[in-house]
Amino acid sequence: MMIRVALLGLTFLTCSLLKAAETPNIIVIMADDLGYGDLGCYGAKTVKTPHLDQLAREGLRFTSGYCSASTCTPTRFSLLTGTYAFRQKGTGVAPPNGPALIKPGTETLASLLKRAGYTTAVVGKWHLGLGDPKPDWNGELKPGPLEIGFDHCLLLPTTNDRVPQVYVDDHHVRNLEADDPLRVGDKAPSPDHPTGITHRSTLRMNWTHGHNQTIHNGIGRIGFYTGGQSARFRDEDLADTWTQEATQWITTHRKQPFFLFFASHDIHVPRMPHERFQGSTALGFRGDAIVEFDWSVGAIVKAVKQNDLQSKTLILICSDNGPVLDDGYVDDAVEKLGNHQPAGPFSGGKYSVLEGGTRTPFIVHWPGRIQPGVSNEVVCTIDLAASLASLTGVSLPKEACLDSHNVMPALLGIPGAKGRDHLLQQDNNGTNLGLRMGEWKLVRLKQKGASKAVVSMQKRDEKSGAYQLYHLSEDPAEQKDLSAEQPERVEAMIAKMNAILNQGSTRP
């Protein structure tokens, strides 16, 4: 009887807290390639992140917060659509001239919040394609964010190691002059076009693999482009431009509910933080870029406070995938690593379906609504669509957000609230997969390959087509494969993985 009364009390508390739709301002801040161990609040000692650490102290810090994929494009696709990226072809890392991956009419996190009365904006890295069948760089860049629920965008169209280095302001390239059109392609425009191979001696940041085609700002890129000189930006100014845009937008829209998706490029390659951050850590430009990201977060929080919006604003911190050191450029990330552990206690990193690839910093902050603490519940960026729709009282169409779970009670830290009971993790194209169920993790490896983030992962023997089983509570680094000792559990988890792959939706 006492247990029943307690359960009824908990149910009443949960329902009373969530029964009425709420419309706090919502700011989702996504870092790029930020690892679980890269922040002070997650154990980092070599790099200082005071603004993020303060959000963690005042909010809820998750120890099992995930993104859904170990590369950028699929994670961003899943965050906005609430659907596993492997369900749609072409959601691997988007090329420079790639078309819009999220088609008009698709229900997204932004469109859901617009239905709840929000003004919406995305500022930062997009990397989800533009246009149909490809971007019209000198005309209207649509479809894009404005066709799937955003009212405003200021974007880096792809990712900064890919061309072109320009800003997209709503539907057009910012500052583009008609007499100097922008041309983007996958082939050299002329035999004498300077590249990172032909003009390697001129580079201010050398390359280790790839990243050796068109040179901009003394750095080789993936892909080729010419023209658009007045529209091009300096790498060093990315964070400043976006942070200024975000803080001004917050001030302009302070009198109405708003949703801001701030997608930082820090700490993705090429790592070229502003001069005032260069040398601020002992970790080279990778560490300096973490400090720059922390500064951006601090500036956004300051704008919220200056507009007296603290108690009205939910801020969520996440990353698009785990860490990587050498990702194509010589920037001292490997040489100056020292004792720093980018993935914390986990193996793997970017490109990997081991925990270091998708378990990242995950912090939720809402003064007066979320009590400070640490949560071990499993939550994922793919769940933001269903969770925030629930918070704001918006219904989810049956055919939308196919894998998004409503974990809002867990995100709010409501006592007794549970997160996910299972989560699928994918690599870039969904070839390699991980399935977490409780404290157990099944890894399916269909192709050889090692994360470049952690040496122990590089040395691991990965047999093509193998299934591996790990007990995360006892083996967080996934070093001891228990598949031979637990054949029944492996069989059950393979069946669950196959059901997720084949049934088309996992939304409760």
491 inside domain: yes
Same domain, 161 and 234: yes
CATH at 345: 3.40.720.10
440 inside domain: yes
Residues 249 and 242: their CA atoms lie apart, in Å, by 10
Of 411, 442, 475, which residue constitutes the final position of a domain?
Answer: 411
327 inside domain: yes
Is residue 131 within 8 Å of residue 138, measured between CB atoms? no
59's CB contacts (< 8 A; 6+ apart) are: 315, 363, 364, 365, 366, 370, 372
List C-alpha distances in Å: 163 to 159, 180, 220, 226.
8, 16, 10, 10
Please tell me the predicted confidence (pLDDT) of residue 21.
Answer: 86
Strand partners, 216: 219
CATH at 434: 3.30.1120.10
Same domain, 266 and 306: yes
Is residue 231 within 8 Å of residue 182, measured between CB atoms? yes
Of 411, 437, 452, which residue constitutes the final position of a domain?
Answer: 411
Helix or strand run (H / E) with residue 153: strand 152-156
207 inside domain: no
Same domain, 437 and 376: no
Please tell me the predicted confidence (pLDDT) of residue 447.
Answer: 63
Q: Whole-prediction pTM value?
A: 0.94
Collapse the DSSP code of 419 into the 3-class scheme (helix H, G, I; strand E, B; otherwise coil) and give the result: coil
Same domain, 62 and 32: yes
Same domain, 349 and 276: yes
186 inside domain: no
Q: Which residue shows structure tokens 């994360």?
A: 451
189 inside domain: no
Same domain, 392 and 302: yes
40 inside domain: yes
**pLDDT tens for each residue of the chain, 508 residues long:** 434 444 444 444 444 444 578 999 999 999 999 999 999 999 999 999 999 999 999 999 999 999 999 999 999 999 999 999 999 999 999 999 999 999 999 999 999 999 999 999 999 999 999 999 999 999 999 999 999 999 999 999 999 999 999 999 999 999 999 999 999 999 999 999 999 999 999 999 999 999 999 999 999 999 999 999 999 999 999 999 999 999 999 999 999 999 999 999 999 999 999 999 999 999 999 999 999 999 999 999 999 999 999 999 999 999 999 999 999 999 999 999 999 999 999 999 999 999 999 999 999 999 999 999 999 999 999 999 999 999 999 999 999 999 999 999 999 999 999 999 999 999 999 999 999 999 999 999 886 544 333 333 333 444 444 899 999 999 999 999 999 999 999 999 999 999 999 999 999 9
Residues 479 and 482: their CA atoms lie apart, in Å, by 10
Same domain, 314 and 434: no
Same domain, 235 and 120: yes
Domain count, the chain: 2
Same domain, 44 and 157: yes
Please tell me the predicted confidence (pLDDT) of residue 464.
Answer: 41
Of 378, 411, 444, which residue constitutes the final position of a domain?
Answer: 411
| Number of other residues whose CB lies within 10 A of the CB of residue 268 | 24
Same domain, 274 and 354: yes
Please tell me the predicted confidence (pLDDT) of residue 359.
Answer: 98
Same domain, 85 and 114: yes
The domain of 124 spans 22-170+227-411
Same domain, 120 and 236: yes
329 inside domain: yes
